[in-house]
Amino acid sequence: MTDSSSKKQLLHLVFGGELESLEEVQFRDLKDLDIVGIFPDYASALVAWKAKAHQTVDNAHMRYFIVHMHRLLDPESAIKG
């Protein structure tokens, strides 16, 4: 059971992969996507994103992204802010 006074979860997914080109987000191989994880807030997702981005800095085609899953789960909240 969760504590009602706890901070609201705003789930964020961090993932990445190698792009076919630098001009668009088209992954070279979907089977090779790196799913870093799902995080309870943007701040922790950003820490994970930075760590993975720094690990792959030598490969210009490697990109990591943060997806605001909470906006997908509750589209009306995305409209409000």
What is the distance between the alpha carbons of residues 53 and 57, in angstroms, rounded to a whole number? 6
Q: How far is residue 34 from each of residues 13, 25, 49, 53, measured CA to CA in Å?
A: 11, 15, 11, 12
Query: Can you tell me the mean pLDDT for 13-40?
Result: 95
Q: Is residue 9 part of a domain?
A: no
Q: Is residue 56 part of a domain?
A: yes
Domain interval for residue 56: 15-80
**What proportion of the chain, given as a percentage, has pLDDT over 70?**
84
Q: Is residue 6 part of a domain?
A: no
Number of domains in the chain: 1
- Residue 76, pLDDT above cutoff 90: no
Whichever domain contains 36, its CATH number is: 3.30.70.2400
Q: Is residue 3 part of a domain?
A: no
